[in-house]
Amino acid sequence: MEFCADPSLISGWRWLACYLTTPKHQLFYLSFLTVFALLAITAPVVLLMGFAGAVARLSSFAPLRWLGTIYTSMVRGVPDVIFFLFVPIALDQLVELTRHKIKCPQVTDAVYRGNEFIVCSEAKMPLQDAAAWVHQGWGFVLAVIAFSIVFGAFAANTLFGALNAVPEKQLETARAFGFTERQTFRKIHVPQMWTYALPGLSNLWMILIKATPLLFLLGIEDIVYWARELGGSKTGYFAYPHPDWRLWYFLGLLVFYLLLTWLSGKVFDRLNQRFNRQNIDQQVLKPIEAGR
């Protein structure tokens, strides 16, 4: 806007309009997409890892069953924030160590030197001269992995309980109609499971939403980062000086998360009502008749 050329000469709504359309505020608005991207990418990965963990715990193959049990128990017994901080650091160092071995075989100095982790410049991930968006993107990938590992374990417990909650008589009926164990699992066990899994998965989704501000702890410029950055007091050295407005910025984030969880709750309520309206006998007989 033309009247924003000199902020010191404007006031009132014009000053506010110019203030809210600065480049930093545009980055703040774009950072909301970071939250949605994290949820959109992490949710299906969490479901996939959760299903794999639940199936592993049900496996008759003992090593696979032990692996599933160890994974879900280990993650469930450790505070989430520790995994959110440990996994990105561990993965980042593992990638850089691997690159260091490949790209700099001539360097014989130890990588771990006291409290420091030092690799050659060619092994840095990303490279030091990479664009800022590359560094942000790499951090985001590490965050997705960390969230997926933690919430995948919780999803595995939820799905494991849901699989065990399916009445055994329904599975026996499928076997009586000549279904193999694999057909019974795919056509009867899994479809019936969702009725029991949805309440737990809805709670897990809410927790995942509330955990997204942890991106700030991982050094990602998310909505919490920009709320703190923009809301802090600005002196006359800045184009738009103002007192400490962090309260208002975080109040806006509060409203955003309340709306997001409220809408999510409505969606899951509709899904629960849909599953509850269906007759269990019809859910069993239809796939059986279709498979005959």
What pLDDT band is residue 71 in, cutting at 50, 70 and 90? confident
Given a cut of 50, is residue 236 above it in pLDDT?
yes
Instruction: Name the percent of the chain lying above pLDDT 90.
Output: 34
Instruction: Say if residue 126 is preceded by a cis peptide, omega within 30 of 0.
Output: yes
User: Is the distance from CB of 239 to CB of 7 less than 8 angstroms?
Assistant: yes
For the ranges 8-12, 44-48, 277-281, the maximum mean pLDDT occurs at 44-48
Q: What is the structure's pLDDT at 262?
A: 94
User: Whole-model pTM?
Assistant: 0.82
Average pLDDT of the residues in 86-100:
88
**What is the per-residue pLDDT across 17-38, written as a single tens digit (0 to 9) for each?**
888 888 899 999 999 999 999 9
Burial label for 119, CB within 10 Å (0-12, 13-18, 19+), is buried
DSSP state of 38: H
**Least confidently predicted of 6-10, 89-93, 103-107, 108-112:** 6-10
User: 112 has which bridge partners?
Assistant: 117
**What is the per-residue pLDDT across 112-133, written as a single tens digit (0 to 9) for each?**
887 788 888 888 888 888 888 8
Sign, CA torsion 40/42/44/45? positive
Enumerate residues 6+ apart whose C-beta is below 8 A from 188: 166, 170, 171, 174, 179, 284, 287, 288
Q: Going from the N-terminus, what domains does the chain have, and what CATH number goes with each?
A: 19-291 (1.10.3720.10)
